[in-house]
């Protein structure tokens, strides 16, 4: 009897041990699967980022590309359930891409036409009527040829004006770029016009101003509270919705006008106003010299965005009218706002005018990096806050400047880079 009970106990004990080991093995297996899933998830999200960056840079294509990759993610999930490898996932995605050739231009075609950071073109291609928004990468030799500056003894004073709102995260880079300007710092002042920030933009800009004055020898630097409320804010897709543009751009025009008025009242004497947006992350150290070299009243640079080994147009507001664009506008009411990048308007973007040389005539300008002679503002030029000849803000300023008899030009080879799209 005792013996049978001992056997029974031993049997129960053994069964418990076996079940426990079984549970451990199963748990381990699940964890392994989970980790595999994480790796696959990472691969998928990386592909999404790549696709967004590799597609042409206009927003419509970006949306298409994002849509396509949402369905790719679905595909990959199916593959994951079947325990497939990375190369299998890649081949499924490549197949999917092949079925969508309309949306994604083949890499080789893109490289041949626009060059790339690694294989720049050794000539200036004619992209005048290009609709892709991609901008050719040109070799250093070509760029040097079109960007050579004469020796000069600079004496002109430049007031840099930058409107800021929730710019805390971009201000450090912005300050580094300002500090590396090779124009004599004692001829430069920087005024920031802040309003509506919900982060520490104001405090950060104050610290930067202090450094620019004491460590970088700038003549003056201040942060001004513009005392405004409103505007349109949010990520690129939201902020750039067509229906918001009249109000958004009018608000920005008002901010710019307040800032420039303050500068004239409190900023001493200066010869030029240089507008630079706080989310422009890279500009050439000789930016000021290039803008002065144009010897014009209103001067804009190309404003681009980098995307892996390619680059594309960010600011669509620097353009030249064509006969066709003017014909279209002549059929519109006077107070209708014409906006670039929302439909084909048949205008030519500044970066596509390189074929004409280093200083080209424009009819519209953007505010990424924009120099305006101080005398233009003194004689009444401003950023229109209501529609002026079907345009507003910076583009409206260009239209108004032309009407006042001022010269409006662009420097297609001088490229500043806006931060990546959000």
Ligand X SMILES: Nc1nc2c(ncn2[C@@H]2O[C@H](COP(=O)(O)OP(=O)(O)O)[C@@H](O)[C@H]2O)c(=O)[nH]1
Using CB under 6 A, list all residues that contact ligand X: 162-165, 167, 193-196, 226, 231, 239, 252, 255, 277-279
* C-alpha span between 345 and 342 (Å, rounded): 8
Q: Could you give the 3-state DSSP secondary structure of residue 344?
A: coil
Question: Distance between CA 421 and CA 318 in Å, rounded?
Answer: 18
Could you write out the DSSP letters of every residue in 288-308? Answer: HHHHHHT--SEEEEEEEEEET
Residues with Cβ within 8 Å of residue 286, at least 6 apart in sequence: 149, 182, 183
Q: Which residue is associated with the tokens 């002042």?
A: 189
Instruction: List, in sequence order, the alpha helices (H) in 298-349.
Output: 323-330
For ligand X, the closer CB: 252 or 401: 252
Least spacing, CB of residue 239 vs Mg ion, in Å: 9
Q: Per rule CB under 5 A, is residue 315 in the interface with Mg ion? A: no
Return the SS3 of 229: coil
Q: Which stretch binds Mg ion (CB under 5 A): 171-179, 253-261, 279-287, 400-408?
A: 279-287
The H or E element containing residue 116 is: none
226 binds, among ligand X, Mg ion, none (CB under 5 to 8 A by kind): ligand X
Minimum distance from residue 165 beta carbon to ligand X (Å): 3
DSSP SS3 for 125: coil
Q: How far apart are CA 332 and CA 34, in angstroms?
A: 59
Q: Taking CB under 5 A as the rule, does residue 393 contact Mg ion?
A: no
In angstroms, give the least distance from the CB of 305 to ligand X. 10
Is the CB of 358 or the CB of 391 nearer to ligand X?
391
The distance of Cα 183 from the centroid of its chain, to the nearest Å, equals 25
Q: How many residues at the interface with Mg ion, by CB under 5 A?
A: 2
Binding-site partner at residue 163 among Mg ion, ligand X, none, CB < 5 to 8 Å by type: ligand X
**Least distance between ligand X and beta carbon 275 (Å):** 9
Q: Which is nearer to ligand X, 76 or 337 (CB)?
A: 337
Helix boundaries (H) for 82-167: 86-98, 107-114, 140-147
Length of the chain: 422
* Residue 231 binds which of ligand X, Mg ion, none (CB < 5-8 A, kind-dependent): ligand X
263 binds, among Mg ion, ligand X, none (CB under 5 to 8 A by kind): none
> 65 vs 278, which CB is nearer to ligand X?
278
Residues 6+ positions from 414 with CB-CB distance below 8 Å = 147, 284, 287, 290, 291, 301, 302, 369
β-pair partners for 225: 194
Beta bridge partners of 310: 307
* Least distance from Mg ion to the Cβ atom of residue 265, Å: 27
Residue 127 vs 201, nearer CB to ligand X: 201
> Whose Cβ is closer to ligand X: residue 115's or residue 193's?
193
Q: Which of 72, 130, 194, 279 binds Mg ion (CB under 5 A)?
A: 279
**Residue 278 near which of Mg ion, ligand X, none (CB within 5-8 Å, type-dependent):** ligand X
CB of 231 to Mg ion, least distance (A): 13
Looking at the Cβ atoms of 194 and 277, the one nearer to Mg ion is 277
The neighbouring-strand residues paired with 282 are 417
Q: Minimum distance between the CB of residue 303 and Mg ion, rounded to whole angstroms?
A: 9
Pick from 368, 206, 181, 169: which is nearest to 277 by CA?
368
Question: Scanning residues 107 to 126, which ones bind Mg ion (CB under 5 A)?
Answer: none
Smaller CB separation from ligand X, 160 or 359 = 160
> What single-letter DSSP state applies at residue 356?
G
Residue 196 binding partner per list Mg ion, ligand X, none, with a CB distance cut-off of 5 to 8 Å that depends on partner kind? ligand X
> Would you say 105 or 317 has its CB closer to ligand X?
317
Residue 195 contact partner, candidates ligand X, Mg ion, none, CB within 5 to 8 A by sort of partner: ligand X
Q: How far is the CB of 154 from Mg ion (least distance, A)?
A: 28
- Nearest distance from C-beta of residue 278 to Mg ion, angstroms: 8
Q: Is 185 helix (H, G, I), strand (E, B) or coil?
A: helix
Shorter beta-carbon distance to ligand X: residue 92 or 228: 228
**Angle between helix 168-179 and 201-214 (nearest 10):** 10
Binding-site ranges for Mg ion (CB under 5 A): 277, 279
């Amino acid at each position: 009897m005792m013996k049978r009970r001992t056997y029974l106990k031993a049997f129960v004990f053994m069964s418990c041990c076996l079940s426990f080991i079984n549970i451990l093995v199963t748990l381990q297996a699940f964890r392994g699967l989970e980790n595999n899933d994480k790796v696959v998830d990472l691969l998928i999200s990386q592909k999404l980022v790549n696709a967004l960056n590799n597609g042409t840079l206009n927003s419509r294509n970006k949306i298409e590309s994002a849509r396509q990759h949402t369905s790719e993610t679905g595909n990959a999930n199916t593959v994951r359930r079947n325990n497939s490898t990375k190369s299998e996932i890649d081949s499924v995605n490549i197949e999917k891409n092949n079925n969508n050739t309309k949306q994604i231009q083949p890499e080789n075609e893109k490289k041949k036409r626009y060059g790339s950071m690694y294989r720049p073109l050794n000539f200036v291609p004619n992209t005048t009527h290009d609709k892709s928004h991609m901008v050719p990468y040109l070799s250093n030799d070509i760029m040097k040829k079109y960007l050579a500056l004469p020796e000069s003894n600079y004496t002109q004073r430049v007031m840099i004006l930058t409107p800021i709102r929730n710019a805390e995260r971009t201000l450090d880079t912005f300050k580094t770029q300002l500090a590396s300007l090779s124009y004599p710092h004692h001829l430069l002042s920087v005024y920031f016009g802040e309003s509506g920030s919900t982060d520490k933009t104001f405090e950060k800009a104050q610290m930067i101003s202090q450094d620019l004055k004491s460590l970088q020898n700038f003549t003056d630097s201040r942060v001004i509270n513009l005392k405004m409320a409103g505007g349109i804010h949010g990520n690129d897709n939201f902020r750039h919705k067509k229906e918001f543009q009249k109000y958004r751009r009018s608000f920005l025009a008002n901010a710019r006008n307040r800032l420039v008025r303050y500068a004239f009242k409190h900023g001493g004497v200066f010869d030029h106003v240089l507008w630079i947006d706080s989310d422009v992350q890279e500009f050439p150290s000789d930016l000021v010299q290039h803008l002065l070299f144009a010897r014009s009243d209103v001067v804009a640079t190309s404003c681009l965005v980098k995307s892996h080994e390619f680059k594309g147009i960010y600011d669509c507001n620097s353009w030249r009218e064509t006969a066709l664009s003017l014909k279209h506008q002549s059929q519109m009411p006077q107070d209708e706002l014409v906006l670039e990048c929302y439909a084909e308007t048949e205008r030519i973007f500044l970066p596509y005018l390189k074929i004409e040389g280093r200083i080209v005539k424009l009819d519209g300008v953007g505010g990424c990096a924009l120099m305006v002679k101080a005398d233009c503002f003194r004689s009444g030029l401003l950023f229109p806050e209501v529609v002026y000849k079907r345009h507003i803000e910076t583009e409206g300023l260009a239209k108004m400047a032309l009407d006042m008899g001022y010269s409006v030009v662009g420097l297609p080879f001088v490229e500043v880079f806006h931060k990546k799209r959000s």
